[in-house]
Every structure is written in C-alpha cells, then in structure tokens.
Amino acid sequence: MARMRTRELPLIVRWAPSIVMMGAIFFFSSLPASRIPSFGEWDLLIKKAGHASGYALLGLAYFFALPPRLSSPFRWVLAMFMAILFALSDEFHQSFVQGRNSTIIDVGIDAIGAAITLTIAAFYSSNSNSNSSI
C-alpha cells in the first residue's frame, strides 16, 4: 500500500487531532473545582501552563488540519482565529461549571500558547524542503 502525503490524507484523518484536543479541553473544563487537584505553591503556574499547552496543541492541530494548499501565513491566521474562538467558547462553558470561573486572562494565555506553536509550525512548514510522507 502506497503511503499518502499529508495533503492527500482524508479529511477525517487531518481533523482527528483537533477533535481529540477539543474533546480533552472540554472534558477538563467540565470538571468541578472540587475534582481538580491543588499543586500547592505551584498551583497557579501549573494550571496556566496547562492552558497554554492545551491550546498550543490545539492550534498546531488546527494548522495541520487546514488544507496545505493554503499559504502558511493564512493557515497561521485561520488556526489562531479558530483557537481563540474555541478558547472564548470554552471559558463561557466553564462559567457554568460548579466552583469554576471564566476569565479573559485565560483566553490570553490560551492565545499565547497557540501563537508560539503556530509560529514554529508556520516557519517549519514554509521552510521545509522535505518530501517525506506520513
């Protein structure tokens, strides 16, 4: 069986990582405050790093799910927009979860995480000379 290139992958295969990440983020933001562990003096740092990491992976998943025929800068902007929209919707959702609150600061942290990995992905994507297949 011949290997497929990324641009030839079926739509569901390209979008599966995004769907998994959105599900994971939704699951964790659905947990009531009483079910979330405390990390002592590191609590704030670990939880905010979790926000940034989750959205870094989501942004990356969006970037590679978008059609490769689009330019890297356009995919960057579109993936960033999608990550921010999901972050906003997730914060809204979280405002209904017992003991949890919603803050625009978390959306900013999410956006920073996505922006960092999207910048790396766009740089790699636009400078790659490889013809490797998946």
pLDDT band at 123 (very low <50, low <70, confident <90, very high): confident
- The answer on pLDDT for 131 being more than 60 is no
Domains of the chain, by residue range, sit at 42-127
Q: How many other CB atoms sit within 10 Å of the CB of residue 59?
A: 30
* DSSP secondary structure letters along 69-83: TS-HHHHHHHHHHHH
pTM of the prediction? 0.85
Q: What is the pLDDT of residues 40-70, one digit of tens each?
A: 999 999 999 999 999 999 999 999 999 988 9
Q: What is the pLDDT of residues 90-106, one digit of tens each?
A: 999 999 999 999 999 99
Torsion sign (Cα): 26, 30, 35, 36: positive
The rounded Cα 51 to chain-centroid distance in angstroms is: 9
Q: How many other CB atoms sit within 10 Å of the CB of residue 113?
A: 25
Query: pLDDT > 90: what percent of the chain?
Result: 78
> Whole-angstrom Cα distance, residue 79 to residue 101?
26
